[in-house]
């Protein structure tokens, strides 16, 4: 027989259910029956939804445990501030007090992170039910965002302001706190290198004098693994093959305003290369051609990058010889007694694996073909891991993607692999406003609009406008890097340049269009073919100028065909320490127009690192010559002018001059040569300051005129006089752009030359 409990008994039982977990309820307990369940106090939440959550049947026996479970379900739903079960005879009344609706969300005290950024990371939303637990979680998320900016002391408190109609304003009160800087980075176990030297290797930096501008002095846990790898790579590149990072201990100060990081390292002995051999374990393959590509030398300090470079060169030989499935396996034997490493490059036969297909995903804007053409491997080709890695680097180098991952997975058969390319698009267009300053050119401003991936086709479209104290320029260019589906770079450019008395007493204007086509002729060499049509004007020549310039005043039309051969070792990157480049150009003017010249220029340069990669050495040799035919004579806009070929001299600061003219303007020359050498090196300041030093020495000359009769009928001296200068540079990478200070002195010059002992250049975008 079912028995109904009185009101007092039910109230007592319910109070026990609220106060005690179901497992602690007194037992046995009498069951009760409610013929009806009524909900009171709800305004926003539907009654049906509340009864569904309560899930208590009507007209059936209910145990205290069932009632308690129903009560807990309502309380844990996060929709109600309070829930009370009140029996009224045979009816169970569910009295609820709903959480208010969020009217608006605001942030107070935030300066480093704007409201838009904070709105993106909080999950509480206007016109939704206010949930204290979610508000607390949002406060923690905001604090974590500040921590990622280096502000570990940031505090965020959620507050509510009650409004009418059961609504509240949710306010996050933010105390941003100061940046938690890395006060000190120290090392234990290091004997070969000082703490100062090792700190320069790490990406994480100590706080310094420029801490206001430099953000790498904030602690970021995600940088620790990278720092560990950088430290390991550095030591192993110096011969410490057994180097280990035994532990990294970041500690925060009690005030949470500073970090102290300690690297516990084990250097081990320093090794040198011992015996170096190359052997072939593949029948019919001679190892001698591969051995010639080895850059490992007996007695040299052990360096893994030299081994990797040698392997890459050997793999290139295998590709050139049409050898597939060849592995270059480095085998190292340690000799602890004399601290040497014997190295054997073994040519072994790899597994016969083929590329089944290449899958591309994630490219919402960029066409598949733009990505696919970065792969020299196509479906059905032998699988070459090195080629796939190189292709992956080319995809990343496009600059179109925030992330690009290339992985392989098993194909339909054991001898098949599928290459998967997963990319994440990023904006490729940019609008830049810039400012520049130079001692000679003064203050200038520029505007640039560039799209690197026009219509997702990998095309480049650019527009540039600039103005300075004495010059103005505008230009538009378009590049199709894969014309006709081949490695043909089709370009078109149009430019307008005007100068007004740029270190001279005359004005110039040049308008030109230039289509071009560039294609590879070797692994490192490319050839560009071009056509140039330009209209050049010389005006504003003053009365005290040279008679040569007065006679040349006017406008000429130039129609020229030209080519440039460009060879750069960095295209294959087989030597990471040294880069060579060579450029040879010729332009033949005379296919229409007024100009009839043959202009030839050449440049050879080398850049290398030395002294444990701390010093960068550069050297360049450049020369040019202009020849005329017919009865044509060169004029000022044909001839070479000084530019920055020899530092220490002003633009138009040297070369043939009419000394009988009042202004003695430089006239330019038909021939020039210049040799430039430079060394860039650290000057003892912490790397995070971005300041390094340099020394340079330049030498060269500019000479030769077709017409030499100047003012008063006096011949202009256009002989080849050598100029030379030396100087020192300060390089400073600043938040507003890279600065370069040049302090120079001319060692050899002519009396009329115009020298420049100091030069400052800066270029910045904002």
Dump pLDDT digits (tens) for 655-696: 999 999 988 888 999 999 999 999 999 887 766 677 889 999
Q: Please enumerate in sequence order all residues whose Cβ is within 8 A of that of 194, keeping only pairs 6 or more positions apart, or say none.
A: none
Length of the chain: 766
Packed helices 64-76 and 47-54: angle between N→C axes, nearest 10 degrees: 130
Helix boundaries (H) for 181-222: 195-201
The residue whose two tokens read 């300690």 is 262
Neighbouring CB atoms inside 10 A of 630's CB total: 8
pLDDT at 21: 38
379 vs 374: CA distance, rounded Å = 14
Instruction: Report how far apart, in Å, the C-alpha atoms of 85 and of each of 38, 49, 234, 727, 766 are.
Output: 10, 16, 70, 89, 64
Given a contact cutoff of 8 angstroms between Cβ atoms, the answer to whether 533 and 526 are in contact is no
**CATH code matching the domain that covers 101-175, chosen among 3.40.50.1000, 2.102.10.10, 3.30.420.40, 3.10.20.310:** 3.10.20.310
Yes or no: domain 354-425 corresponds to CATH 3.10.20.310: yes
Handedness of CA 664, 668, 671, 673 (dihedral sign): positive
pLDDT of residue 639: 94
| pLDDT given at position 567 | 94
- Strand extents, DSSP E, 657-716: 671-682, 691-703
Other Cβ atoms closer than 10 A to 410: 10
181-266: CATH, from 3.30.1330.10, 3.10.20.310, 3.30.43.10, 3.40.920.10: 3.10.20.310
Position 10 scores a pLDDT of 41
> pTM above 0.75?
no
- The per-residue pLDDT for 5 is 36
Question: Which token pair is 450?
Answer: 């560039």
CB of 617 closer than 8 Å to CB of 594: no
Among 322, 481, 467, smallest CA distance to 397 is for 481
Q: How far apart are CA 232 and CA 202, in angstroms?
A: 10
Per-residue confidence (pLDDT) for residue 538, from 0 to 100: 93
Pick 7-98's CATH classification: 3.40.920.10, 1.25.40.390, 3.20.20.70, 3.10.20.310.
3.10.20.310
Same fold? 181-266, 354-425: yes
* CATH architecture label of 272-349: Roll (3.10)
Assess contact for 531 and 560: CB atoms under 8 A: yes
pLDDT of residue 322: 81
Q: Which mean pLDDT values do the consecutive 10-residue runs of the chain (766 residues) have?
A: 36 40 43 84 81 84 84 83 84 86 90 88 88 89 83 86 88 84 87 86 72 57 86 91 90 76 93 94 90 90 89 85 86 92 92 90 90 87 83 86 88 89 86 59 74 90 85 92 90 92 82 96 92 94 90 94 93 71 96 94 91 82 96 93 86 90 90 96 77 94 93 91 95 74 92 86 48
Burial class, 456, CB count within 10 angstroms (exposed 0-12 / middle 13-18 / buried 19+)? middle
> 465-765 — its CATH code?
2.40.160.50
Look up residue 301 and give its DSSP letter: B
Q: List the chain domain ranges.
A: 7-98, 101-175, 181-266, 272-349, 354-425, 465-765
266-290 residue pLDDT tens: 999 999 999 999 999 999 899 999 9
Sole residue written with tokens 């059905």? 380
Query: What is the rounded CA–CA span in Å between residue 574 and residue 313?
Result: 6
Nearest CA to 531 out of 480, 585, 492 is that of: 492
């Amino acid at each position: 027989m079912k028995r109904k409990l009185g009101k007092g008994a039910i109230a007592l039982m319910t109070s026990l259910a609220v106060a005690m977990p179901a497992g602690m309820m007194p037992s046995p307990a009498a069951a009760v029956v409610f013929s009806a369940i009524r909900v009171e106090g709800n305004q926003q939440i539907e009654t049906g939804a509340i009864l569904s959550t309560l899930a208590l049947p009507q007209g059936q026996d209910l145990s205290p445990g069932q009632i308690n479970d129903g009560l807990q379900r309502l309380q844990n739903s996060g929709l109600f501030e309070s829930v009370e079960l009140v029996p009224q005879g045979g009816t169970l009344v569910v009295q609820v007090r709903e959480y208010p609706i969020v009217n608006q969300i605001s942030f107070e005290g935030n300066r480093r992170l704007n409201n838009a950024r904070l709105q993106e990371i909080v999950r509480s939303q206007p016109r939704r039910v206010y949930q204290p637990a979610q508000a607390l979680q949002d406060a923690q998320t905001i604090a974590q965002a500040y921590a990622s900016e280096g502000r570990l002391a940031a505090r965020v408190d959620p507050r509510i302001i009650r409004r009418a109609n059961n609504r509240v304003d949710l306010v996050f009160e933010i105390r941003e706190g100061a940046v938690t800087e890395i006060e000190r980075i120290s090392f234990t176990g290091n004997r070969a290198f000082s703490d100062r030297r090792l700190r320069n290797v790490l990406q994480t930096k100590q706080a310094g004098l420029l801490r206001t501008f430099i953000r790498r002095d904030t602690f970021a846990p995600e940088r620790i693994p990278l720092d560990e790898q950088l430290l390991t790579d550095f030591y192993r590149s110096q011969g410490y093959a057994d180097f280990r990072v035994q532990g990294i201990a970041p500690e925060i100060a009690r005030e949470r305003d500073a970090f102290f990081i300690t690297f516990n390292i084990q250097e081990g002995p320093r090794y040198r290369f011992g015996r170096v051999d190359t052997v072939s374990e593949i029948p019919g393959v001679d190892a001698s051609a591969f051995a010639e590509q080895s850059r490992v030398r007996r007695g040299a300090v052990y360096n893994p990058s030299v081994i990797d470079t040698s392997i890459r060169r050997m793999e290139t030989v295998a590709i050139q010889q049409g050898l597939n499935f060849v592995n270059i396996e480095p085998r190292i034997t340690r000799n602890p007694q004399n601290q040497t490493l014997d190295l054997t490059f073994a040519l072994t036969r790899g597994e016969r694996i083929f590329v089944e297909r290449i899958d591309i995903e994630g490219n919402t804007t960029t066409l598949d073909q733009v990505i696919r053409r970065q792969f020299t491997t196509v479906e059905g080709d032998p699988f070459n891991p090195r080629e796939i890695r190189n292709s992956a680097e080319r995809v990343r180098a496009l600059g179109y993607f925030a992330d690009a991952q290339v992985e392989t997975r098993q194909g339909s058969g054991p001898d098949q692999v599928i290459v998967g390319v997963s990319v994440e698009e990023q904006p490729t267009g940019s609008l830049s406003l810039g400012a520049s300053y130079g001692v000679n050119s003064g203050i200038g401003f520029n505007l640039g609009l560039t799209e690197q991936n026009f219509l997702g086709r990998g095309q480049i479209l650019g527009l540039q406008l600039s103005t300075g104290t004495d010059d103005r320029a505008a230009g538009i260019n378009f590049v199709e890097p894969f014309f006709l589906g081949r490695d043909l770079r089709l370009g078109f450019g149009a430019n307008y340049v005007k100068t007004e008395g740029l270190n001279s007493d005359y004005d110039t204007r040049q308008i030109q269009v230039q289509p071009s086509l560039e294609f590879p002729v070797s692994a490192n060499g490319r050839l560009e073919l071009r056509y140039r049509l330009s209209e050049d004007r010389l005006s504003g020549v003053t009365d005290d100028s040279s008679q040569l310039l007065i006679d040349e005043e006017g406008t000429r039309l130039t129609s020229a065909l030209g080519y440039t051969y460009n060879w750069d070792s960095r295209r294959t990157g087989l030597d990471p320490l040294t880069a060579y480049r060579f450029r040879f150009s010729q332009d033949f003017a005379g296919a229409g127009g007024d100009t009839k010249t043959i202009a030839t220029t050449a440049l050879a340069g080398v850049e290398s690192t030395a002294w444990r990669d701390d010093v960068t050495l550069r050297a360049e040799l450049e020369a040019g010559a202009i020849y005329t035919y017919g009865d044509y004579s060169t004029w000022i806009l044909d001839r070479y002018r000084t530019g920055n070929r020899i530092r220490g001299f002003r633009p138009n600061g040297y070369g043939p001059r009419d000394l009988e003219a009042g202004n003695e303007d430089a006239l330019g020359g038909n021939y020039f040569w210049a040799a430039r050498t430079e060394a860039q090196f650290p000057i003892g300041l912490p790397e995070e300051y971005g300041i390094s030093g340099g020394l340079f020495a330049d030498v060269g000359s500019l000479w030769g005129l077709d017409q030499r009769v100047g003012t008063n009928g006096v011949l202009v001296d256009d002989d080849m006089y050598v100029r030379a200068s030396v100087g020192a540079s300060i390089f400073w990478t600043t938040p507003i752009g890279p600065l370069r200070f040049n302090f120079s002195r001319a060692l050899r010059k002519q009396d009329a030359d115009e020298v420049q002992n100091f030069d400052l250049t800066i270029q910045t975008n904002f």
